[in-house]
Amino acid sequence: MSSAPWSRDRNRIGAAMLLLGDRVAAAGAEATGLRGGAPAALVSLLGWADGHHLDALAGGLGLSHSRTVRIVDGLERDGLVERVADTVDGRRALVVLTDEGRRRAEAAVAARSVVLDDVLAVLDDDQRRAVAAAAERVLLDQAVDRRTARHICRLCDVVACGHRDGDCPATRGADRREALPPTEGESR
């Protein structure tokens, strides 16, 4: 059997990607009871933004400052997040997860994993590994800077991702491009 034309393969990849995106978004919304950018905000907080100031979160989410303010307002209203004043710089509002917020964020991450498992269950181990290797290559290639990397990783399970031990492809790709010292500690 000769291989299908690339246009056909390409289209299938796009369709499967769209399906996964829909499912993941729905799962995140259901697991947190939140919609729009709020689930991603929660997960990003869990991953890297906890205790950071509001603008850093906005940058990582790829949202405007004002939008991020409203999202944090909502999370605070729901008791998932607290604003604490930065003792060093009084202008800054540091956003910290509450215990309940952490639980919700973890639930969102878990829900995403469940969906991915479900959708990918039909593949065999070799296929899953092949897709993962391709994904790693794509991430290394596409994460052109740290801000982009954080945006890509806005729904990541930071532990699984490898963020903690320097194995996150997006971060690695970004560092390579920016020629930062690879041990640089997450800049502002």
Partner DNA sequence: CGGTATTGCATGCTCGGGGCATACAAATCT
Partner DNA sequence: AGATTTGTATGCCCCGAGCATGCAATACCG
Q: Which residues bind DNA (CB under 7 A)?
A: 34-38, 53-55, 62-67, 69-74, 83, 89-93
3-state helix, strand, coil in the chain (%, to 5): 70, 5, 25
What are the CA-CA distances from residue 4 to residues 7, 52, 130, 132 (Å)? 8, 48, 18, 22
Taking the C-alpha atoms of residue 17 and residue 41, their distance in angstroms, rounded to an integer, is 22
10 Å CB burial of residue 84 (0-12, 13-18, 19+) is exposed
162 binds a second copy (CB under 8 A): yes
DSSP H or E run through 85: strand 81-85
Which listed option, a second copy, DNA, none, makes contact with residue 11 (CB within 5 to 8 Å by class)? a second copy
Binding to a second copy (CB under 8 A): which residues in 80-99? none
Binding to a second copy (CB under 8 A): which residues in 17-46? 17-22, 24
Pick 99 or 126: Cβ nearer a second copy: 126
Binding a second copy (rule: CB under 8 A), the pick from 50, 136, 145, 178 is: 136
CB distance 105 to 138 below 8 Å: no
Binding a second copy (rule: CB under 8 A), the pick from 73, 141, 184, 186 is: 141
Give the residues lining the site for a second copy (CB under 8 A). Answer: 3-22, 24, 112-113, 116-117, 119-123, 127-142, 151-157, 159-162, 167, 169-170
